Structure formats: C-alpha cells, structure tokens
Amino acid sequence: MGSTLVVRSKIDELAVKDGKKMSISSDFHDKLNIVVEDLIKKACERAKANNRNTVMARDL
C-alpha cells in the first residue's frame, strides 16, 4: 500500500451516530485507505480512457 490518504482524526470526528461518538477500529482506517487509493486509481484510468490528463469528479 502507498502512503496514508485518510486522516484518522478526521474519520474519528465524523464517526458520530445519534450524537454519540462511535469507536473506530484500527483496521477500519487501513481498509478505508485502500478503498480510497483504489477509487483514485480507477478515476485516473477513466480520465485517461477519455483522453484527459485531468481527473474530474465525474470520473468517480
């Protein structure tokens, strides 16, 4: 896996349900990083397939 793409403290801040802070396991952060990395790679592939060097929101 590459570098860390997600900020753990920001994930922890968002993990709230019904006003209560949820606990986040360490493997969640690791898996989310992998998912984000894959999403970026796929978006890059789509941009290239459309003859662009710019990745846009529509590539997601």
Phi–psi pair at 51, nearest 5 degrees: 55, 40
Does 6 fall in a domain?
no
SS3 20: strand
Cα distance between residue 23 and residue 30, in whole Å: 15
- Whole-model pTM? 0.81
- Number of structural domains (the chain) is 1
Q: pLDDT tens-digit profile of 2-59?
A: 688 889 999 999 999 999 999 999 899 999 999 999 999 999 999 999 999 999 999 9
Give the structural domain span for 37: 25-60
Please report the pLDDT score of residue 25 as a whole number: 93
Cα distance between residue 6 and residue 9, in whole Å: 9
Does 54 fall in a domain?
yes
Other beta carbons within 10 Å of 39: 13
